[in-house]
Amino acid sequence: MPWSYFRVLFGLCLFTLLWVALFEKDGDLIGFIWLLCFGSLLFCLATVALAMWLQKPPFYASIIDIRYLPFGIQKFINTPGIANLLCLFPMAFLAALLLKPDQRPRWFWTLGILGFTLSLIAGIALGQRSYFVVVLFIAPLLVAIFLLLLRSWRAFIALCILLMSYPLLRWLDQVMGMHFLHRPLDQTLFNDARFQMLQYWFERVIANPFQRIEVGPSQYAHLEWFHNFFADIHRLSGFWALLAAVVLVTYIFIRLLYLIKVDRRVGLFLMAIAIPCFLIMNTSVVPEAERQPFLLLLAIGAISEVILGRHRGSSKSPHSDPVAKHDIVNT
């Protein structure tokens, strides 16, 4: 890949961080996350709709990239990347159940239910196991646990119903002979190529972290990527870049934990998006294919810093200190 691409990627990261810092209200910060995920959904829906119009299924590993069509170029991309981006909006919709009604984005229920439904239809059309594991299992389970912490019983029960619907959908899938949902939780999940490549990298990086590690095992040596955020950073840029990535991601999650102490609902909302987003980054090709999950995680980290910074500022203000306020009144 040309170095100019990585300069553009760096510019996008910097732009995301600076843009978040310009928002003055917490509602704008939540809206930024919502719209970023909604934009990813629109891109994926347009891609899947065009593929269903111009191509014949199955679409795996060969779906038309709509970004090149205006230039008269027909280029194909891999379907797992589109499936990963399809996960972002359902994740944000489910996570927003943790917010108070007045904290949620405008037209939350209308856009949320419609977007979730269309995302599910597009996910079924693609038939990617990662989509169903994230959208119908990991994200609802995570939000349900957080709802228990908040004691939001009605939303908790609704999510439990969603979790219970997955085995039913899988049974209907088998009965109807479609086999869209059969693969996600079958016994071969941990024999998947991504898990085998991750194990291969992890064993070698522990043995010698400063040695360059090419994609393996041997049956996957022809692939260009490990399909893992940390493994590909280590392969491309070495140990120190890997260490920087680990420190960055760890720092973001630590700050999220601090944010939960300051503003529980907003903190849990961001954490419920950050964890599935982090898992997606570690089963996909971040630099080449899906930049949005990484930019989303950066935005979440920036939002945490903005809110924590405002909290520190308000706690130091004389008007927020009862003792200082008493002194001012006496004066």
Q: What pLDDT digit, counting tens, does each position of 177-222 carry? A: 555 555 544 545 556 777 888 888 888 899 888 988 888 787 877 7
Cβ neighbours of residue 305 closer than 8 Å, sequence gap 6 or more? 255
Share of the chain above pLDDT 90, in %: 33
Contact 140, 104 (CB under 8 A): no
Q: Report, as an integer, the average pLDDT of 7-26.
A: 84
**Could you give the CA distance from residue 17 to residue 33 in angstroms, rounded to a whole number?**
12
**Can you say how many angstroms the Cα of residue 18 is from the centroid of all Cα atoms in its chain?**
20
Contact 287, 280 (CB under 8 A): no
- The helix/strand/coil state of 101 is helix
0.75 exceeded by the pTM?
yes
Contact 252, 304 (CB under 8 A): yes
Q: What is residue 175's predicted lDDT score, i.e. its pLDDT?
A: 65
> pLDDT tens for residues 109-139?
999 999 999 998 888 888 777 888 888 888 9
- The helix/strand/coil state of 221 is coil
**DSSP-assigned beta bridge partners for residue 76:** 64
Residue appearing with tokens 């869209």: 180
Q: What is residue 99's predicted lDDT score, i.e. its pLDDT?
A: 93
Would you say residue 281 has pLDDT above 80? Answer: yes
**Could you give the CA distance from residue 176 to residue 273 in angstroms, rounded to a whole number?**
33
Would you say residue 326 has pLDDT above 50? Answer: no
Q: Which of 10-14, 18-22, 206-210 has the highest mean pLDDT?
A: 206-210
**Could you give the CA distance from residue 201 to residue 209 in angstroms, rounded to a whole number?**
10
Would you say residue 331 has pLDDT above 90? Answer: no
Contact 308, 259 (CB under 8 A): yes
In 3D, which of 180, 138, 173 has the Cα closest to residue 159? 138
Q: Report, as an integer, the average pLDDT of 26-31.
A: 90
DSSP for 161-197, please give it: HHHHHHHHHHHHHHHTT--SSSSTTSTTGGGSHHHHH
Mean pLDDT of the chain: 82
Region of poorest pLDDT, from 1-5, 244-248, 298-302: 1-5
> pLDDT tens for residues 137-155?
889 999 999 999 888 888 8
Residue appearing with tokens 């230039």: 71
Contact 213, 201 (CB under 8 A): yes
> pLDDT tens for residues 30-74?
999 999 999 999 999 998 888 888 777 666 667 777 777 777 777
Q: Report, as an integer, the average pLDDT of 1-12.
A: 78
In 3D, which of 68, 66, 72 has the Cα closest to residue 50? 66
Q: What is residue 288's predicted lDDT score, i.e. its pLDDT?
A: 65
The residue count of the chain comes to 331
Q: How confident is the model at residue 317 (pLDDT cuts 50, 70, 90)?
A: low
As a whole number of angstroms, the longest Cα–Cα distance in the chain is 80
Would you say residue 330 has pLDDT above 50? Answer: no
